[in-house]
Structure 1
Amino acid sequence: MIVLSFLFLLSGLFFCISSSDRADSLTKNDKLTTAKSLGQAFVDVAKKVQPSVVNVTTEKTVTMKPWERYGEDFFKGSPFEDFFKGFGGPPREKGKEFRQKQRSGGSGVIVDKEGYVLTNLHVIEGADTIKVRLNDGREFPATLKGQDRRTDLAVLSIKAKDLPVATLGDSDKLEVGEWAIAIGSPFGLEHTVTVGVISAKGRSGLGTGTYEDFVQTDASINPGNSGGPLINIDGEVIGINAMIIQPGTGIGFAIPINMAKQILSDLIKHGKFVRPWLGISAQDLTPEMMEHFKVKEKDGVLVGQVYPETGAEKGGLLSGDIIKSVDDKSVKNVTELVKEIQKKKVGQKVKLNLIRDGKATTMEITLTAMPDKPEAAKEKETEEKLGARIQELSPQLAARYKITGVKKGILVVAVEDGSLADEIGLQEGDVILEINRKKIETVKDFEKAVKETDFEKGALFQLHRKGSSFYITYKK
């Protein structure tokens, strides 16, 4: 009986061990199957999308000086100056400019079977000739059909029919951590496929000078990838690869495809995209600003400046207002405000919920067309030079800043610490009446005067501050 019990126990132990081994073996097989399945998914995506990805090459004539190819005057003043003069080519007359061809390249993606290719504007800007080479090896001359500098997007046209067209996805549905696949021609290596994930969404503040709402990815992106598609695991284009921080860092950025979809039709039909515009400059709230403007929540957008003859001015929007929502859709920062406005059309009315002097109010603004180079862009250059935000004095601003005694001038809205304006002695609430004895009544007057002033030779300002007018001088 004892022997039988022992044999039964032994057989049970053997059965458990065998079952455990089989389970481990099954788990390993499952993992291998999953890996193979995922790998095949990448293969399928590549096969699906690669035919619609193109290589873009450009050629343009550039004007150069003799030393520019080696760095301007690199050997000038050294013992080697005479030896290296004209090195790499025939001797050239000192300082004489010459012209030469410059070639560069990037990528693109076919978005219409009629021959329209979406790419980055910086890939083809200034090109004398553009060529597009398809996945099957065919090459076509291309013409620029439309461009939009604010998104760094362009549409090319080639004379070819029944082309393979990429499927455009929905970048608003992207989730951080999902697969991202980049296809392009890094360093001229055509139809390179790299794989990574979506690292972040809504990246801004990168200093590109464009509308920044980038998708960040660690899928390897290098020079030459620009203009090519970023794709999801379903083979849909979710972005247009645009820039990298530095080669090899694993940090790349793509323009969300929904941003491209908003303007694509207009670029094809009209060659440009006319944007709806509130007519303001805006900035995110900081804790210090929250205290100053008597708000408890950081969500919202501070109106820095209202530009003349815009919907914002006509609707009564003021500098210092804090926009909380657009058509009842809350906006947390400038990026979200821009996105909401870009969903609208020129001439459309929008409802703004805002905070003014600590009190909630509602306002209706009619959106106007953003000019090709709005006054905002021109004023920004002057403001950056001086380090102060300014606005034309209006009755509303005079009431807000408790200004009496003057009706015209330029109001100083903010002064950056350590800036030229700070050194001059300008303060928030000052009204600039004259610069170098020239009257300052409009923003254009101010811009012209600042541009013409040599601060190293000295400048004379007439200011109005706290009910009194006086002069101050400044020499850099």
Structure 2
Amino acid sequence: MKTATRTLLALTAAAAFGGFAATGMQLMLQRPAAAEPAPAAAAAPAIAALPAAVNGTPMPSLAPMLKRVLPAVVSVNTKQRVRVNTPFGDDPVFRRMFGIPQERIAQSLGSGVIVDAARGLVLTNNHVVEDADEVSVTLADGRTLKAEFVGNDADTDIALMRIPAQELTAIPVANSDRLQIGDFVVAVGNPFGVGQTVTSGIVSAIGRNNLPGAGFQNFIQTDASINPGNSGGALVNLNGELVGINTASFNPRGSMAGNIGLGFAIPSNLASNIKDQLLVGGVVRRGTLGIDTQDVDARIAAALGLAQPRGAVVTRVYPGSAGAAAGLKPGDVILAANGEPIADAEALRNFQGLQPANARVALDVRRDGQPLQLTTGLREVPKALAGAQLDARLAGASFADLPESLRRQGLAGVLVEQVERDSRAARSGLRKGDVVLAASSGDFTDLGGFRAGFAAPPPQLVLRVLRGRSSGQLQMR
């Protein structure tokens, strides 16, 4: 009984103390923080603060480097007029009754990098300014200026702008080919529109080219935080030199879910090459081998005597192409290009897409089980073809290669870039934006193959067309 009484008293005391402590903590939390200085006796000991130096060596800081870099990174603001669709179409009475405007202004935010202060040149991502009706740039010192569009390349996601400003600061550009896995890098941009932000990390990988939905790829991968709004910003080394243009982050839940340490940047060498081409003519010209290829699977590898299923096997060589000049033949397996291993047909296509027109290429080939090296100069990829040049039944239409982003989604064919009103192609039902997947003129995977199929015009010309999510056949008359 005495033991039980002592236990009860102890529990009662504990409960009373707990209630007192909880009440005291609640009062402390409710009391506003005082601005009075702490008593001298309660001052934190000196060892709690970070030392300015260790063994006489100053603590490292990125601040001096960033003072040079930050003025060269800008915020990019875009506006686009978007048509407002209604169930009643363009009925003006309905719109007036319910106050529905014909269009609205969509705004987006990204980042950019000043790479030439004298000429006011700013690099950013194409997807930041694509389809924008108005683009303005806000400098680190607060000035906001209207930007002039110079050119863009959707397939590498690079765009170039010019701003009319004095006293600009540019970032010196480094040789990104010297980057190594493990090098420290710093990302600067305007994520989520919160303002200029700096994050740091290392180079996690180089030469990444397997991201879905992107164009030609040779990405630097980094664990420096890259979030929406960082696109077009700078990735710099510890010397404050530009090594990449931040372009994407990967998150299975979508980019708006935030950063998980998988960020990607376009190497500065590639961005500089695109910039130089855009300055000269406003367009990017690429080279091609002029061949069709497919992946080497286990069955093909066994038939060709390869130790492993790797490389791109040539299935077709177009007459007059760079591949024909090099002596490539159907059945050849391309294992490397300019010393870069070629894993499959997509890797070879990606390699070609990153080369300028007339670039020299050395190919490591396996033919009949024997190693062979061939060298050739690439030939320029045509930007677009007029349908009338191919066949009179296509008159009024123009065709272009598919954007690489669509190819990464598994599509192959050509894009209908334009169709003139009341033209022969229009009367047969062809529309701008259609994707031609197949044709009775012959097999093809790109614009070069599509053109080659009309060397001998077919008696009947039937196109299999993808429009939106539906596909069907059109007979061209």
The Cα shift of 1:174 comes to 1.7
Q: Determine the C-alpha separation between the residues in 1 that align with 2:471 and 2:104.
A: 41
Q: Secondary structure at the match of 2:188?
A: strand
CA spacing shift, 1:229–1:448, aligned 2, 3 Å = farther
Q: Secondary structure at the match of 1:449?
A: strand
The answer to whether residue 114 in structure 2 is matched with residue 110 in structure 1 is yes
The answer to whether residue 82 in structure 2 is matched with residue 54 in structure 1 is no
Comparing 47-56 and 266-275, the one that deviates more: 266-275
Q: Determine the C-alpha separation between the residues in 2 that align with 1:168 and 1:384.
A: 30
2:464–2:471 contact (8 Å) kept in structure 1: no
AA in 2 matched with 1:323: I
1:410–1:446 contact (8 Å) kept in structure 2: no
Q: Secondary structure at the match of 2:464?
A: helix
- Name 1:235's counterpart in structure 2: 240
User: Quick one: percent identity of the two aligned structures?
Assistant: 32
Correspondence for 1:123 among 124, 128, 133: 128
The Cα shift of 1:182 comes to 0.8
1:181–1:233 contact (8 Å) kept in structure 2: yes
Comparing 177-186 and 287-296, the one that deviates more: 287-296
CA spacing shift, 1:65–1:237, aligned 2, 3 Å = same
Q: Secondary structure at the match of 2:141?
A: coil
Query: What pairs with 1:201-212 in structure 2 (closer than 5 Å)?
Result: 201-212=206-217
AA in 1 matched with 2:109: G
Give per-residue Cα distances to partners, 1:23-67, cap 9 Å, x unaligned.
Answer: xx9xx97996799733x1x21232121010011101110112248
AA in 1 matched with 2:114: I
- Name 2:341's counterpart in structure 1: 331
- Name 1:279's counterpart in structure 2: 290
> Which segments of 5 or more consecutive residues in structure 1 lack a partner in the other structure?
1-24, 68-84, 390-407, 414-438, 460-476
AA in 1 matched with 2:223: D
Comparing 128-137 and 245-254, the one that deviates more: 245-254
2:317–2:323 contact (8 Å) kept in structure 1: yes
- Name 1:244's counterpart in structure 2: 249
- Name 1:360's counterpart in structure 2: 371
Q: Determine the C-alpha separation between the residues in 2 that align with 1:448 and 1:34.
A: 80
The Cα shift of 1:259 comes to 1.0
Correspondence for 1:101 among 98, 105, 108: 105
**How many residue pairs were aligned?**
364
The Cα shift of 1:258 comes to 1.4
Give per-residue Cα distances to partners, 1:406-448, cap 9 Å, x unaligned.
Answer: xx984799xxxxxxxxxxxxxxxxxxxxxxxxx9997999994
Q: Determine the C-alpha separation between the residues in 1 that align with 2:304 and 2:322.
A: 23
Give per-residue Cα distances to partners, 1:356-413, cap 9 Å, x unaligned.
Answer: 3433344443411112258894599999999999xxxxxxxxxxxxxxxxxx984799
Q: Determine the C-alpha separation between the residues in 2 that align with 1:366 and 1:302.
A: 20
The Cα shift of 1:147 comes to 0.9
Correspondence for 2:301 among 242, 266, 290: 290
Query: What pairs with 1:82-97 in structure 2 (closer than 5 Å)?
Result: 91=98
Query: What pairs with 1:247-258 in structure 2 (closer than 5 Å)?
Result: 247-258=258-269
2:53–2:59 contact (8 Å) kept in structure 1: no
- Name 1:151's counterpart in structure 2: 156
The answer to whether residue 146 in structure 2 is matched with residue 141 in structure 1 is yes
Query: What pairs with 1:257-406 in structure 2 (closer than 5 Å)?
Result: 257-282=268-293, 285-297=296-308, 300-303=311-314, 305-307=316-318, 309-313=320-324, 315-326=326-337, 329=339, 331-333=341-343, 337=348, 346-347=357-358, 350-373=361-384, 377=401
Q: Determine the C-alpha separation between the residues in 2 that align with 1:214 and 1:119.
A: 15
CA spacing shift, 1:298–1:169, aligned 2, 3 Å = farther
Q: Determine the C-alpha separation between the residues in 2 that align with 1:330 and 1:109.
A: 30
2:359–2:378 contact (8 Å) kept in structure 1: yes
CA spacing shift, 1:212–1:44, aligned 2, 3 Å = same
Q: Determine the C-alpha separation between the residues in 2 that align with 1:271 and 1:388.
A: 27
Q: Secondary structure at the match of 1:47?
A: helix
- Name 1:401's counterpart in structure 2: none
- Name 1:80's counterpart in structure 2: none
AA in 1 matched with 2:272: K
Q: Secondary structure at the match of 2:235?
A: strand
The Cα shift of 1:320 comes to 3.5
The Cα shift of 1:161 comes to 3.5
The answer to whether residue 220 in structure 2 is matched with residue 200 in structure 1 is no
Give per-residue Cα distances to partners, 1:240-282, cap 9 Å, x unaligned.
Answer: 1111123232221111111112222121222122112212344
CA spacing shift, 1:325–1:197, aligned 2, 3 Å = closer
Q: Determine the C-alpha separation between the residues in 1 that align with 2:444 and 2:115.
A: 48
Q: Determine the C-alpha separation between the residues in 1 that align with 2:127 and 2:165.
A: 24
Q: Secondary structure at the match of 2:147?
A: strand
Q: Determine the C-alpha separation between the residues in 2 that align with 1:383 and 1:256.
A: 22
CA spacing shift, 1:115–1:300, aligned 2, 3 Å = same
2:465–2:471 contact (8 Å) kept in structure 1: no
Give per-residue Cα distances to partners, 1:136-168, cap 9 Å, x unaligned.
Answer: 111111111111111000110111234211011
Give per-residue Cα distances to partners, 1:309-332, cap 9 Å, x unaligned.
Answer: 5322455434432123446x3533
1:59–1:127 contact (8 Å) kept in structure 2: yes
Q: Secondary structure at the match of 2:207?
A: strand
2:383–2:400 contact (8 Å) kept in structure 1: no
The Cα shift of 1:234 comes to 1.7
2:76–2:111 contact (8 Å) kept in structure 1: yes
Q: Determine the C-alpha separation between the residues in 2 that align with 1:350 and 1:111.
A: 29
Q: Secondary structure at the match of 1:183?
A: strand
Give per-residue Cα distances to partners, 1:55-97, cap 9 Å, x unaligned.
Answer: 1101110112248xxxxxxxxxxxxxxxxx99xx97368xxx8
Comparing 276-285 and 259-268, the one that deviates more: 276-285
Comparing 335-344 and 178-187, the one that deviates more: 335-344
Q: Secondary structure at the match of 1:320?
A: coil
The Cα shift of 1:199 comes to 1.7
2:249–2:259 contact (8 Å) kept in structure 1: no
Q: Determine the C-alpha separation between the residues in 2 that align with 1:386 and 1:447.
A: 25
Q: Determine the C-alpha separation between the residues in 1 that align with 2:196 and 2:471.
A: 58
The answer to whether residue 59 in structure 2 is matched with residue 37 in structure 1 is yes
> Which segments of 5 or more consecutive residues in structure 2 lack a partner in the other structure?
1-46, 88-93, 386-398, 414-439, 446-452
Q: Secondary structure at the match of 1:223?
A: coil
2:285–2:356 contact (8 Å) kept in structure 1: no
